[in-house]
Amino acid sequence: MELFDVIGKRYSHKVAFDPVRKVPDEDLLRIVQAGMAAPSAGNGQSPEFIIVSEEKLVRGIGELSGNVPLRTAPAMIAVLTQPHARQVCDLRAECLIADFAVATLNMLLAATALGYVCGWVDGPFTKPELSRPVSELLGIPEDRLLILFVPIGYAGEPGPRRPKKPFAQRASWNAYAVQR
């Protein structure tokens, strides 16, 4: 698939996945490698990843989260960061956010290019009462912070695509002229 087609086709799948159709380990590896290839502030390479494909773990995380995509996805990738990672950027927290965001975007695009649907689920994991047991389940050390999961698979039902604003409401040429 051509890059601009992949970008146009990507969306956040927020409904059920087909839990029966598995994602091959080779594809999960390629998706994580795409995340690892992302740029990072000062080449700090702070994002870390856990590929979760073992059915018992996937279901456990899904049930703990109560999130439909995580409850039904056949596989997911956890994105972690080192909250105290040494960064060149003066705005350390912002650098870490940018690092995991661009790594996650690379994975979303890679999954789409391979023919899967995927998403970005972070909301439930901002709460320690959920992030702590999930971190324990995956053996995440205390000096690492679980940021989000990327559920990956085939659609179990069609995912609604949210419309994007037109160009004129978000961009302009040579000077600010965005329609507000």
Q: Which domains does the chain have, with CATH numbers?
A: 3-169 (3.40.109.10)
Tens of pLDDT, residues 57-71? 999 999 999 999 999
| Across 123-133, average pLDDT | 88
In eight-state DSSP terms, residue 74 is S
Tens of pLDDT, residues 17-58? 998 899 999 999 999 999 999 998 888 888 999 999 999 999
C-alpha to C-alpha distance for 62 and 76, rounded to whole angstroms: 10
